[in-house]
Amino acid sequence: MRNRILKVLKDYDLDEIKIGTLGSHSALNILKGAKDEGFETVCICRPKERIIYESFNVADFIIEVSDFKELLNESLQERLIEENVILIPHGSFNAYIGNLDRIRVPFFGNRELMIWETDRAKQREWLERAGLKMPRSLKPEEIKGIAIVKYHGAMGGKGYFLITGKDDFYAKFEELKREGFVKSLEDVEIQEYIVGANVYLSFFYSPMNERIELIAIDRRYEPVDGLGRIPAEIQIKSKVQPTYTVIGNFPIVLRESLLVKALESAKAVVEVSKEIAYPGIVGPFCLEAVFDDNAEMHVFEISARIVAGTNVGIPNSPYSYILWGENMYMGRRIAREIKVAIEKDALGEIVY
């Protein structure tokens, strides 16, 4: 598979490389970053989202599609390849397309790891092999304290909910069953709920510089954050239960001593990635963590590509500034890596 992509790349005109992505998720970040590094940009975009990319004037070329799945069409791929486009994948590639292995256009990064990312079991394997502490998966009998229940019908965290014990679980589970959302226990995942401070750590692994860079840190903003503004009595009387649908992100900084664990975890994740999917992680990845009462870090997810939370770090974050001393943010960091790889004639090392 990778060889097939590298073969396509071989015919690219290195003086005419364009950077492209789907118009969604973190495309503003990616496209602006590419322009800051001097690349021409291509935005593959649905009619309804066109207003975003036109308003911000980040796309030199807009290719309109009625569905992102059109990226699977040979004709569109042919066109992108002719234009020497390197695609920067983001969350919408997995969410709207799937079958990433059917796309011949070179991706920045390692698409095999993006596929790993979509499989909860493989994700857990990756993180546990890296020695990270994860919230435990529980059987109903094992529920102590608070647990979070996830089920397949729940898109993007929308239908996740908290419970406090076995009985509480079964009551809500029966309700879900009655409403047809789930059929059996196998349709739900019960996970230990770590109470604490959510922290999303966005790193960049640079094969060109052979180093891991911390680029930005954010905390998600969700309707469930509205709970904290409703008096407990009103919450109980109204039985309100807001969801985890992502609405936005806050920039944050992390207590300096906790960077040790964060950086060591990133390093371990990069090392394991080389074993599970050659050549391992390239470019952006995000560790999604909770720090508990003892400031211990629990990682509950990994994203093997740019996350939208990095938008908080445009044009810089405290961390990217300390490292780079200039405006640096994830989209630009990606483009910078491509630029350096072109100069070194080493694009094959960062593309898959």
Interaction with its own copies in 127-156: which residues (CB under 8 A)? 145-146
Residue 90: both structure tokens together: 């983001």
Residue that has been written with the tokens 């954010």 in this structure: 218
Residue 179 found at the interface with its own copies (CB under 8 A)? no
How near is the Cβ of 260 to its own copies at its closest, in Å? Answer: 6
Binding test (CB under 8 A) with its own copies, winner from 11, 15, 256, 345 = 256
In the bound state with its own copies, the residue whose beta carbon lies nearer, of 161 and 279, is: 161
In the shown chain, the binding pattern of residues 235 to 254 toward its own copies, with x for contact by CB under 8 A and - for none, equals xxxx-xxxx-xxxxxxxxxx
Q: Which of 86, 127, 314, 341 binds its own copies (CB under 8 A)?
A: 314
Min dist. Cβ of residue 165 to its own copies (A): 7
Interface segment toward its own copies; rule CB under 8 A; list 78-86, 116-124, 284-292, 334-342? 284-292
Sheet holding 161-163, edge to edge: 137-138, 188-192, 147-151, 161-163
Residues 6+ apart with CB under 8 A from 8: 81, 104, 105, 106
Per DSSP, 106 falls in state P
CB of residue 147 vs its own copies: minimum separation in angstroms?
10
For residue 191, list its beta bridge partners.
Answer: 137, 148
CB 195 → its own copies: shortest distance, Å? 5
Residue nearer to its own copies on the CB measure, 191 or 243: 243
Least distance to its own copies, CB of residue 106, Å: 24
Chain residues 52-91 in contact with its own copies, contact rule CB under 8 A:
52, 55-58
Site for its own copies in 187-226 (CB under 8 A): 195-199, 211-214, 217, 219, 221-226
Q: Distance between CA 323 and CA 325 in Å, rounded?
A: 6
Nearer to its own copies, 55 or 75 (CB): 55
Residue 60 has phi, psi (to 5 degrees) of: -75, -35
**Residues 219 and 244 sit within 8 Å (Cβ to Cβ):** no
Q: Which is nearer to its own copies, 73 or 327 (CB)?
A: 327
**CA dist 8 → 70, 102, 108, 192, 287 (Å):** 19, 13, 13, 45, 32
Q: Which residues on adjacent β-strands are paired with residue 86?
A: 19
Cα 258 to Cα 304: distance, rounded to the nearest angstrom:
22
Q: How many residues does the chain have?
A: 352
